[in-house]
Structure 1
Amino acid sequence: MSLRLSSTLLALALLAGCAAAPTQRAAVTPPAASPPVATPTVAANDNLNAVAWSQHAIEHDLIYLQTYRDAQSRLLAALHDRHWDALGRNDRTTPLKGLKPAVILDIDETVLDNSPSAARMIQGNREYNEAEWAAWCREAIARALPGAVEFTQFAAKHGIAVIYISNRAKDLDQVTLANLRKAGLPVAGPESFLGLGTVVEGCEQAGSEKGCRRQLVARHYRVLMQFGDQIGDFVDVPLNTLDGRRKAVADYLPWIGTRWFVLPNPTYGSWEPALFDNDWSASPDQRRQKKIEALRTH
């Protein structure tokens, strides 16, 4: 074997050895993980979708327009029918003959939009409270809901008294009347607003029920139509349970859309406590669980 060949074989052997030897790498220590930053947890507010829908869904506005326009198209026929009356049997305490015509409307979520107040509570993660509600009312900036101004102005133009029965406290009467006027709704005078706490001689009011105030109107007016977003705007509800609420209106279903006009309110109302036994002393989590259990899945 020549010297050149031996040298070549030796070089190949050395290269093979180098290829087989594992590469030695310096151990790399990963950097220590940063501790997680604690972020405050705010529970989702169950009223968010309802308030967002009330403020931004065109469907909401169309329902109000549809309701008030339909009522307006029927109003003059009701006016000329001397036997037409929209008060329930417990509220019609005076014969109709000789009485002037009127319509009765609730205020909040019926003619005035208070969704900004609800939005503030959502953004501040707060529940409803009387002080905050009264402060909102005193701002007197609630807007009229779609169709309400046109309907009430039409009624007033045709000599029909427009009367507002509301569960706003009686001491909010002046700011409420100011808000109604500012929004373009007709107000004949202080007697147009019958708030919570209105004294009706000979009638004892039960809680926030409106029966006594409807009876007061009945003494002076033939009521052509009633408008509201709660069953209690039309008839007293002796038992605020799901079954009790259905029974309260059962006899008046033919009046819906002719004498009684019901408007949507998914943000609050007596329908809600009916789902948790009217127990406001229960915690928010307990009330929420009751509402979840009440959901139908079939």
Structure 2
Amino acid sequence: MRRSLLVSALVLALAGCQSAPAPRVAPEAAPQPAAAPAVESPAAHDNLNALAWMQAAEEYRLATGQTYRAALAQLDRAIKTPDWDALVPSERANPPDGLPPAVIFDIDETVLDNSPYQARLLRDGGFYEETTWDAWVREEKAKPIPGALEFARAAAARGVTLFYVSNRAVHLDEPTLANLRAAGFPVDDNTRFLGLGHFVEGCEQIGTEKGCRRQLVGRTHRVLMQFGDQIGDMVTIEANNPAGRMAALEPYLGWFGERWWVLPNPTYGSWEPALFNNAWSLPEAERRRMKYDALDYAE
């Protein structure tokens, strides 16, 4: 009996030991990945997509190239048609009959590509100003717009005089002409560059409009074609607002793709300030709001 009680006690004692929870050992903490260094995002800029398209998209090169190829296909017909003239009547001071043929080019974003200058402004958070623009022009690094050089050379080979009517200031004539020549454009005479500030006797200059300079070309030449990235490169805009711009071009819609040729330029131009009443003095955020207001939401 005593032995039986001792065995029972021993069994109960062992059972108690087995039911006791084992002590927990805290697991070693897993190593945490180091925090990634903060990367500063580029500042938002209205011109980013436009510049990226001009510099990287094949579609841009195709668009400019097809414009100049289509113009070249029309050029021989224009030369052979005596009454073919690309000046509006108000800028034609004398009959074009018998005058030697000419073509008028704008320069910037029409024959020369200044997108690297604009890319610098975007990178540096800056905006256009005369000091940085003059410095860029003096670098003489602008490359030809795709298609422009081929057309210019073909026109010159046919005996067509090329005029470069630009709103580059006249004091930039030397680097401008040097850049054009370095890029391969025919420039047979320094007087072929007619910059902003060029005085035209007998014609009243209206702001930065090119009407007087176009009239000057027309005094000695029959203008076959005009090339530009702005409506104002072909005709004077009396009021730079959507209605005024349409009024300027509407009588001549049939000339586009025949006598007048427009190059794509989404980066700048008179179309932009027309959306905010030409009020560059407004804060950038307010100008942007007005551009948003000008969008069509089809609602």
Indicate whether the TM-score tops 0.5: yes
In structure 1, how many angstroms separate the alpha carbons of the residues matched to 2:41 and 2:175?
A: 38
* 1:18-46 Cα distance to aligned partner (Å, 9 max, x none): 33x99697xx9xxxxx9x99886753111
Give the deviation of 1:52 after TM superposition: 1.1
For the residue of structure 1 that corresponds to 2:89, the secondary structure is coil
User: What is the aligned partner in structure 2 of residue 12 from structure 1?
Assistant: 15
Q: Which residue of 2 aligns with 1:31?
A: none
The one-letter amino acid of 2:51's match is V
Residue identity opposite 2:282 in structure 1 = A
Aligned positions of 1:105-124 closer than 5 A: 105-124=105-124
Residue 48 (structure 1) aligns with? 48
Gaps in structure 1 of 5+ consecutive residues: 29-33
Query: Does structure 1 residue 228 correspond to structure 2 residue 218?
Result: no
TM-score, with length taken from structure 1: 0.92
Q: CA deviation at 1:13?
A: 3.0
Residue 7 of structure 1 aligns with an amino acid whose one-letter code is L
One-letter code aligned to 2:204:
E
Residue of structure 2 in register with 1:287 after alignment: 287
Paired-residue identity, %: 52
1:264 aligns with 2:264: yes
2:203 equivalent in structure 1 = 203
Q: Which amino acid aligns with 1:2?
A: L
The residue that corresponds to 1:173 in the other structure is 173
Where structure 2 has 5 or more consecutive residues not aligned to the other structure, the ranges are 30-34
Query: What SS class does the counterpart of residue 251 from structure 1 fall into?
Result: helix
Instruction: Provide the aligned C-alpha RMSD in A.
Output: 2.2
> Match of 2:32?
none
Q: 1: distance between equivalents of 2:290 and 2:222? A: 42
The aligned counterpart of 1:103 is: 103
CA distance in 2, matches of 1:60, 1:239: 29
CA shift, 1:90, in A, is 1.5
Equivalenced residue count is 290
- Map Cα deviations across residues 202-246 of structure 1 (whole Å, 9 max, x no partner): 111111100111111111111000000000000011111112111
- TM, length-normalised to structure 2: 0.91
- CA distance in 1: counterparts of 2:24 and 2:158, whole angstroms: 100
Report how far residue 2 of structure 1 moved.
3.1
Instruction: Mark the CA change 1:119 to 1:295 in structure 2 (over 3 Å): closer, same or farther.
Output: same
Kindly provide the amino acid, as one letter, of the partner of residue 44 in structure 1: A
CA distance in 2, matches of 1:44, 1:113: 23
